[in-house]
Structure 1
Amino acid sequence: MKKLITLLFLLVIITIAKSQSSDKQKAVTQKNLAVKDTVKKGKLIAVQLETGVDTLVVDNAKYKLHKKNVSASYYHDKFNGRKTSSGIRFDNNKYTAAHRKFPFGTKLKVTNEVNGKSVIVEVIDRGPFTKGRELDLTRRAFFDIAAHKGKGVLKVTIAVQQ
């Protein structure tokens, strides 16, 4: 009976140890993937992991991860020339964006999760006002990172300049 209990106890300990080591392996793999993805982008200087928060350094500016896997769309051409909420005239050929809460002038690094392409945009407007969307990009910024030109919504990662 003692042998059976000892055997069961050892099996439980081995199972716990394996699950903890696989979690560590997943973390290391995710860290390595993040580094590989960001190295392809060209402008990336370094990736630092600070207590579970990704900090990217791009062109000597630090970007802190805000959200992953959120939807971004782009402005229609009919808004060209109209004033935005910040008072700036909208131009679909610039690198700007609309967000509900970020202060005007905030720089965001927006990365397409499918192909790893990214752009840096400035928040100049409020929106989007469609449920489930986090960000409205200008047409130029959107199509610079789009994998397929026929789609109007992308899954992106947003990082905020610090």
Structure 2
Amino acid sequence: MKLARALAVAAAAAALFTTTLGPAAAQCGGASWYALYSQTASGEKMNPEALTAAHRSLPFGTKVTVEDLKTGRAVTVRINDRGPFVGGRVIDVSRAAASKLGFRSRGLTKVRLTVDGKEVSPKSC
């Protein structure tokens, strides 16, 4: 029962903070990383060593390319959780993804998210 209530609260929060990023879209903003061992909003257990991420509105299972605008590194992650719920941030990635992107020690970075390969102008980031 507590899990159902927590999921309902998370869904309501996601609805309040929804950012539209549909098919063939790109988005820029802040990113952070997290390494929990709890259940994700999709129902699977969080694995900090998997290339996964939390996004406010993309469907679970969506593959997103995340490019760190400081390091120039990119990684493809699978959305399996909801968040982040902090202003200015567009994605929370797993610890493994943060390591591959090169921002694990910094904790936060600016990224470009790409779904279905659509590019955005560097000026928009």
Per the normalisation by structure 1, the TM-score is: 0.55
Residue of structure 1 equivalent to 2:32: 73
Residue of structure 2 equivalent to 1:151: 106
Aligned pair count? 95
**CA shift at 1:161, angstroms?**
2.9
Structure 2 CA distance, aligned partners of 1:115 and 1:130?
23
Per-residue deviation, residues 75-124 of structure 1 (Å, max 9, x unmatched): 1x3x21x1111101100000000000101010000001122110000000
Structure 2 CA distance, aligned partners of 1:123 and 1:156?
16
Say which SS state the counterpart of residue 108 (structure 1) adopts: strand
Residue of structure 2 equivalent to 1:112: 68
Question: Aligned runs of 1:8-157 on 2, under 5 Å?
Answer: 64-68=24-28, 70-75=29-34, 77=35, 79-80=36-37, 82-146=38-102, 149-157=104-112
Structure 2 CA distance, aligned partners of 1:74 and 1:150?
10
Is 1:112–1:154's contact at 8 Å kept on the other side of the alignment?
yes
Say which SS state the counterpart of residue 161 (structure 1) adopts: coil
**CA shift at 1:65, angstroms?**
4.5
Larger Cα-atom Rg: 1
Give the letter aligned to residue 72 of structure 1.
Answer: A
Give the letter aligned to residue 109 of structure 1.
Answer: T
Percent of pairs identical after alignment? 36
Q: Which runs of 4 or more aligned residues in structure 1 lie more than 6 Å from their structure 2 counterparts after TM superposition?
A: none
Say which SS state the counterpart of residue 61 (structure 2) adopts: coil
- RMSD over equivalenced CA pairs, Å: 1.7
Larger helix proportion, structure 1 or 2? 1
Per the normalisation by structure 2, the TM-score is: 0.70
